[in-house]
Amino acid sequence: MPLVIDGHNLLWSIHKPGKDHDHANDIQLCHLLARYLKLTGETAVIVFDGAGPSDKSAFDNISGLEVVFAGLSADADTVIEDKIKANTAPKRMTVVSSDRRLRAAARARKATAVKSEVFWRSLQKKLSRKESSEKSEPSAKRLGLSSAETEQWLKFFNLDQ
């Protein structure tokens, strides 16, 4: 199911007012999304307002994620609405935004609309589950056998000749 994400809307929703912590920026958000997309097997387009940074190379080759900047003559909402209208299978699309206008446009085409805060919580849960499952695995599972253990098994099965 392809996702269409309102980038600055999602960034705004993850910044908790009154909390004193580092805020995610657009590139950090994109890398988090890439990790999420890898786990879920989905693809996504994230649309940001404005022209973006002059050097966009940091956004190149982010797996499963297309990064779009609306430019100076349009806004992200308009670009996202155009993507909703142009999609040939809108029932399979999910639009991530807390903007009422975008959620209404998604529902009008029978696409799924998810508020940014809800999507963010889902993303965090998915990533934290993955991290906790990685921590519970024995390190040998990820690292493989040592050369001494390999030699021992080869001798045991008489394959060391």
Q: What pLDDT does residue 16 have? A: 62
- CA 103 to chain CA centroid, Å, is 19
pLDDT digits (tens, 9 = 90+) for 10-22: 999 887 655 544 5
Between CA 105 and CA 3 the distance in angstroms is 14
* Domain ranges for the chain: 3-156
Instruction: Sort residue 7 into left (φ over 0), alpha (ψ -120 to 50) or beta.
Output: alpha
Q: What pLDDT does residue 20 have? A: 46
Considering the domain 3-156 in this protein, what is its CATH number?
3.40.50
pLDDT digits (tens, 9 = 90+) for 105-150: 999 999 999 999 999 999 999 998 866 555 556 666 667 777 788 8
- CA 2 to chain CA centroid, Å, is 11
- Residue 113's beta-bridge partner residues? 95
Q: What pLDDT does residue 159 have? A: 82
What global pTM score does this model have?
0.76
